Amino acid sequence: MPVLKNRVAFEVARGIKAFLNVELGLIRGETPGAESGLTDAKADTREKDTRVRQLGQIGRRLAGRARTVAEPAAGDGAQDNRVRPENMIWIFGSGRSGSTWLRSMMSDMERHRVWEEPMVGQLFGVFHKQAQEGQLRSANFIMGEPTRKGWTRSIRNFVLDGAHYANPRLGPDDYLVVKEPNGSTGAPLLMEALPESRMILLVRDPRDVAASVLDGARKGSWLYERKDKGRWKENALADTNPEAITRRRANMYMTQVGNARDAYEAHEGPKVLVRYEELRADTLETMKRIYSELGIPAGDKDLTRVVEKHSWENIPEENKGEGKFYRKATPGGWREDLTPKQAGIVEKITAPLLEEFYPA
């Protein structure tokens, strides 16, 4: 019986062909296409061919990607090059407590490097704090109590990995100063995970902290200009409702300094409590005490040098003043800056800590 077959194929792009197959005719019995399932079998084979090609591509891609994610990149250093946990010096407390000043002095000490606000304490601390009681009781929850030992170990490795990634050139004998006042909510978890590390609890009168934040949050001030996230600017609370921002800040102080204090009390590694006011009053002596209590060798000459370099007097005048990051550095300045109502708000909210650290 007559049958006409015609096949045309041509490349339309690299590796891609267009095709046209036409087959027509007269036949007794099965048509060629339907013949004994041959068409279906051919179609199946084509599908499998495609699957073979896809799997080959997926396999190659995944092997490459998994290697990238799973293995340290060349030059990253091996695990034993990570920071030694006992050489980590955590600075906890609250923002606007002089932590930038303290870490600047420490960063200029020999073999000291700084990990600037990694916020790892906020990552784990805030999440844990916000968890429901039912979640905390559950072994399924990633930070549930039944698996606490396991996730504490995971946090330890996570922090050590993160410290290494952020400071790849850190030597095994170097100290890593972790400035983490705004991650202090997670201080108890971090200290539990790294019990051999060293800790500085830096506190400041909460009324001065509130006064400093209020000043920075006003329109045109440094904090207002820097914070473009959320509704900070839109609300402009420091200008329109200063009591609200005072209350918020006082609550934050309670959480951050309260948690840092809890971590400090439980911590069995080297630790030191520092009041901003004493650091201002006698910087050199306080620095000597810090290093002595942390058990880190520090020569008087070095300490004198870093204290002098980062003294208030050495900050250029144009960088200091109202509305600036470096404002007045005057303990007790809140008496001029806060209204009696605002001071009252702070005193009421932070009463337990105020009484503990600044007894009347």
Partner 1 sequence: MPVYRQNILLEVARGIKAFLNFEAGLTRGPTPGEGGGIQSLEEAHKRLEDRNRQIAELEKKVRESRSDAPAGDLKPENVVWMFGTARVGSTWLGSMMDEPTGHTMWHEPLVGALFGGFYYGRGAHRGGKHGILGGPDEKRSRAIRAFILASAHEKFPEVSGDGYLVVKEPNGSNGAPLLAQALPESRMIFLVRDPRDVVSSNLSGKSEGGWTAEAYKRGRRQGTPPPSDPKAIVRKGAKKYLEFIGRSKEAYDAHEGPKVLVRYEELRADTLGTMKRIYSELGIPMDEDEVARAIKKHSWENIPEEKKGEGKFYRKATPGGWREDLTPDQIQMVEDITGPLLQEFYPEQQISRAGV
Nearer to partner 1, 66 or 244 (CB): 66
Please state, in angstroms and as integers, the Cα–Cα distance from residue 265 to each residue in 190, 200, 202, 232, 244, following that order: 13, 12, 13, 34, 31
Least Å from the CB of residue 200 to partner 1: 18
CA within 13 Å, CB half, 291: 21
Q: Is 32 in the site for partner 1 (CB under 8 A)?
A: yes
Residues numbered 122-151 forming contacts with partner 1, rule: CB under 8 A: 122-124, 126-127, 130, 132-135, 139-143, 147, 149-151
Q: Is 37 in the site for partner 1 (CB under 8 A)?
A: yes
Residue 320 class from Cβ within 10 Å (0-12 exposed, 13-18 middle, 19+ buried)?
middle
Q: Is 225 in the site for partner 1 (CB under 8 A)?
A: no
Q: Is 83 in the site for partner 1 (CB under 8 A)?
A: no
What lies within 8 Å, CB to CB, of 188 at 6+ separation is 125, 259, 262, 263, 266
What lies within 8 Å, CB to CB, of 251 at 6+ separation is 349
Q: Is 74 in the site for partner 1 (CB under 8 A)?
A: no
Nearer to partner 1, 7 or 301 (CB): 7
* Position among 74, 75, 78, 229 found at the interface with partner 1 (CB under 8 A): 229
Q: Is 166 in the site for partner 1 (CB under 8 A)?
A: yes
Q: Is 78 in the site for partner 1 (CB under 8 A)?
A: no
Q: Is 15 in the site for partner 1 (CB under 8 A)?
A: yes
Q: Is 68 in the site for partner 1 (CB under 8 A)?
A: yes
Residues numbered 280-299 forming contacts with partner 1, rule: CB under 8 A: none
Residue type, 155: I
* Position among 33, 171, 295, 332 found at the interface with partner 1 (CB under 8 A): 33
Q: Is 59 in the site for partner 1 (CB under 8 A)?
A: yes
Which single residue is written with the structure tokens 């880190």? Answer: 296
Nearer to partner 1, 148 or 341 (CB): 148
On whether the CB atoms of residues 345 and 213 are closer than 8 A, the answer is no
Q: Is 41 in the site for partner 1 (CB under 8 A)?
A: yes
Both tokens assigned to 125: 């601390």
Q: Is 63 in the site for partner 1 (CB under 8 A)?
A: yes
DSSP letters for 89-110: EEEEE-TTSSHHHHHHHHHTST
DSSP letters for 331-349: TTTHHHHS-HHHHHHHHHH
Least Å from the CB of residue 148 to partner 1: 10
92/203 Cα distance (integer angstroms): 8
Nearer to partner 1, 20 or 360 (CB): 20
**Which residue stretch of 34-42, 210-218, 277-285, 294-302 sits at the interface with partner 1 (rule: CB under 8 A)?**
34-42
Q: Are strands 3-13 and 112-116 parallel, antiparallel or unpaired?
A: unpaired
Q: Is 231 in the site for partner 1 (CB under 8 A)?
A: no
Residues numbered 241-260 forming contacts with partner 1, rule: CB under 8 A: none
Name the helix (H) or strand (E) containing 49.
Answer: helix 38-70
Task: Give the total of residues touching partner 1 (CB under 8 A).
Answer: 90
* Position among 110, 111, 145, 157 found at the interface with partner 1 (CB under 8 A): 157
Least Å from the CB of residue 32 to partner 1: 7
Both tokens assigned to 143: 């930070």
**Which residue stretch of 63-71, 203-211, 302-310, 350-358 sits at the interface with partner 1 (rule: CB under 8 A)?**
63-71
96/182 Cα distance (integer angstroms): 10
Angle at which helix 99-107 crosses helix 300-309, to 10 degrees, equals 130
Nearer to partner 1, 6 or 314 (CB): 6
User: How many residues are given for the chain?
Assistant: 360
Give the distance, in angstroms, between the CA of residue 16 and the centroid of all CA atoms in the same chain.
47
